[in-house]
Structures are given as structure tokens and as C-alpha cells.
Amino acid sequence: MMVDREIATPYYALDTETVIDYVRGRSELTSVFHADEPIEAVEVGDGNLNLVFKVSALADPQRTVVVKQALPYVRLVGESWPLSTDRARLEAQSLQLQNQLVPEYSPHLYLYDPDLYLMVMQNLNKHIIMRQGLINRIQYPHFPEDIGHFLARTLAQTTDFVLGYQEKKDEVARFINREMCKISEDLIFTEPYRKDDQNLYHAELEPQVLALQSDESLRVEVAHLKDKFTTHAQALLHGDLHTGSIMVNQSDTYVIDSEFAFYGPIGFDVGAVIGNLLLSYAAHEVRTQEEVHRADFRRYLTDSIITLWTVFEREFAHLAWENDNLHAFPEAYRRDYLRSVLQDAAGFAGAKMIRRIIGLAGVADIRGIEDVTERSIAASLALNIGQRLILERHHITTIEELIAVATSGTPSYPWKG
């Protein structure tokens, strides 16, 4: 079908004034803003890549949207690192699908503009970025079940089991995401394991980093994980599901920022959530000095991992195989499949932890610890947990065993060799 398009508007980056003219001119937003009423905009982008504006009616700040626009370069680094604005299309496609599959966990998409590479979506103004909440030791009671449902529904329903082999291939093609996958390939699986100018860690960590980089068995396992990441198109992933891509409050959970979406291994998304909860676990080694509070919060984190996996596993199996009337996928195969997702999740969780300590893009949980000795202890613990998860993942058969591997890690700072 031909789509009638106006003459394309040449791309320009919005600012806090032009974004107001922009929202006024969009018919999709007449349910939000009244004609000619005063509107205000603030730029709030604190991520690594994009411009993000909160745009609200001055008379009623509850009438509000977010405008997210892709810049033609990596914001974290600047114009010296060009990056295709097409990632905005991938994110809009993926958000549109999430609006269908998991509307209760994804912000409503009002529009995608293919000329300006921007999306306008629901402003989650009653929620905060989960990473910040975890730093402040806030527990979110609904999060573990919510994220388990999100993972099961988005992942199971984009597999061959549900889509069928033909439609799934079309979807794989629609979600080819070369440039964003390259960022992950380099930043997660390559650069942390070699001396690389892009790596970014503090000098005190150097001896442990050098030891990790010369651990041959670890490098072999990371090469296997990279191979799985690049070749194993099991389902449509979010692709960057860390706790900075999750917004929460005491009653709901929303997932945002899926510009890294592509067809990859299911364990990569599950492992991203687990790895980021374990980064918080490592950070509270020093962030929370009071032992009772530390143990209580860590119990919340590890119980969350157990719950999210339990919910995911049960619902994934139901969605993926409920219509398998011909018994093409016997019980033993289904068990094997889910066990290998669990082992992948353990490995990817470990890789995600290590990249956030050694690689370019860190996380505030650890890099925000001001005292350098304390930061080194937390970072060292995160590296050790990550390393163990990668190396021991083949022996993990239950989520409790994954937790046991993770929680037996200890910091090795100061480094004694």
C-alpha cells in the first residue's frame, strides 16, 4: 500500500522553543494541548544518546508528553562519534509492538515522525528511573512480577513458536539494527576484555582489571556469549534493559528506551535485568553501612530475581507452547530450552556487570560512589560476581543456584594478586 506523505521536512535538532511549535502543529496531540494555550518545555535527557523534552500545558502540568529525538551522534561522546538517527525508527517500531503486547508496562506512543526521527509519548510523571530508587534503597513491591510478565509476553510472543517461521523471518528483517548492535558488541563483549582507549575505570582498579583481562577461560566464555548475541535470533529483545530503562513507583512498572531492539537471545534481556539488580547488590556493599538495612535490601534484590524468573518461566512456557497441539515440542525439550535461557541469562548478567565497571558507559550505582576506596570495593565485588556468573553458568540449573553463585562473590580490593 502506498502511503501518502507530505514533502519531507529536513531534519533539524529541536530545542526548548521549537519543540513547542512542533507539538502545537501535530494533530495527534490535540487531545492533550488546547489550541494557542501556553505550553512549556524542558530538556531532561540524561542518557547517553538522545534529546528528551518534557512538554506540558502551563495551566495544567498533568497534560504533558515526552518528545524524544535521536541526534545524529552519540551524545555522551559528541559529534566525533556519528550514529544513525534510524535508531528512532527501531525504537518506535518496538514501542508500538510493546503498546500491543504489554500496554500496562509501556508508555503510550502518540506519534513517530520519520523526518525528524522523533517520537512523542506518554510522560511518566508519577514515576522515577528505577536505578535512582535502588540507589536510595527503595523497594518496589510490584516490580518483580511486572518485569517477569513484561519479559515473558514480549519475548515469547515474538518467537518462532508464536509467530510461525515465516512471519518471524520478516520481523527479524524489520528489526535489523546494525549500528546499535555494534555498540553492544564493542562495549559489552570486546572492549572490557582488552586494553582499549574507550575503557573508563579508576586507577585503583587496574590490577584486578588486568588480571580479569588475562583470564583466558573468561575470554573464551565471553567469546561464546558474543557469538550467541550476534547469531541467536530467538525473539525480539528490548536490547538495553538496565534499571535506567525502567520507570517505577509503588504501584506500576514501565519499560522505556528500546532503541537497541533487535532479534537476539532471550537470555540477553533477562540477564540485563538480573545483572543490573546485582550491580545494586554490589553497590550496597558500601552504600549501606548498617548491616541490617544492607541485608534487608539485598534480600529484596535477590528475591526480586527469583520472582521475576519464576513468573517469566511459567508465563513464557504457557504463551510459547499452549497451542502446540501436535506435541512438536516435548516436555523435555521445553525444560532444556528454559534451562539454556537461564544459563544464558546468568552469562549475560555477568557480562553486563563487567562492562559497567570497565567499559565506557558506567552506572551511577557504582560510579556515583564518591569515596574512591568505597567505589573500588563495590566495583571489585561487581567484577567478581560478573566473572563467576560467566564462568559457572553451565552448572546453573535453577534460579536459586544462580543466586547462590552471585552471592558467594566477595570484593578483592585491595588487590593481593
CB of 240 to ligand SR1, least distance (A): 5
Using CB under 5 A as the criterion, what x/- string covers residues 202-241 for binding Mg ion?
----------------------------------------
Of 293, 253, 297, whose CA–CA distance to 134 is shortest?
297
Which residue in this structure is represented by grid cell 530503562? 245
Q: Which of 47, 148, 350, 359 binds Mg ion (CB under 5 A)?
A: 47
Q: Kindly tell me which of 183 and 222 has the beta carbon lying closer to ligand SR1.
A: 183
Q: Kindly tell me which of 191 and 257 has the beta carbon lying closer to Mg ion.
A: 257
Q: Which of 91, 113, 257, 285 binds Mg ion (CB under 5 A)?
A: 257
- 76 interacts with, out of ligand SR1, Mg ion, none, CB within 5 to 8 A per kind: ligand SR1
CB of 27 to ligand SR1, least distance (A): 32
Tell me which stretch binds Mg ion (CB under 5 A): 45-53, 70-78, 105-113, 388-396. Answer: 45-53
Q: Kindly tell me which of 347 and 411 has the beta carbon lying closer to ligand SR1.
A: 347
Q: Kindly tell me which of 77 and 317 has the beta carbon lying closer to ligand SR1.
A: 77
Which residue in this structure is represented by grid cell 541526534? 71
- 239 interacts with, out of Mg ion, ligand SR1, none, CB within 5 to 8 A per kind: none
CB of 76 to ligand SR1, least distance (A): 5
Asked if residues 304 and 144 have their Cβ atoms less than 8 Å apart, the reply is yes
Cα(187)–Cα(184) distance, integer angstroms: 5
CB of 299 to ligand SR1, least distance (A): 28
Query: What is the length of the chain?
Result: 417
Q: Classify residue 193 by its DSSP letter.
A: G
Which phi and psi (to 5°) does residue 230 adopt? -85, -20
Q: Kindly tell me which of 64 and 184 has the beta carbon lying closer to ligand SR1.
A: 184
Tell me which stretch binds Mg ion (CB under 5 A): 27-35, 106-114, 144-152, 254-262. Answer: 254-262
Q: Which residues bind ligand SR1 (CB under 6 A)?
A: 48-49, 74, 76, 183-184, 187, 240, 361
Q: Kindly tell me which of 47 and 148 has the beta carbon lying closer to Mg ion.
A: 47
Which phi and psi (to 5°) does residue 50 adopt? -120, 170
Q: How many CB atoms lie within 10 A of CB 62?
A: 9
- Give whole-number Cα distances, 25 to 3, 71, 108, in Å: 20, 21, 19
- Give whole-number Cα distances, 259 to 49, 101, 195, 407, in Å: 10, 17, 28, 32
CB of 105 to Mg ion, least distance (A): 16
Q: What does the DSSP assignment read for 143-174?
A: HHHHHHHHHHHHHHTTSHHHH-HHHHHHHHHH
Q: Kindly tell me which of 93 and 159 has the beta carbon lying closer to Mg ion.
A: 93
Q: What does the DSSP assignment read for 211-243?
A: HHHT-HHHHHHHHHHHHHHHH---EEE-S--SG
Q: How far apart are the first and last CA of the chain?
A: 65
Q: Tell me the residue type at 224.
A: H
CB of 133 to ligand SR1, least distance (A): 18
Residues found near Mg ion in the complex (CB under 5 A) = 47, 257
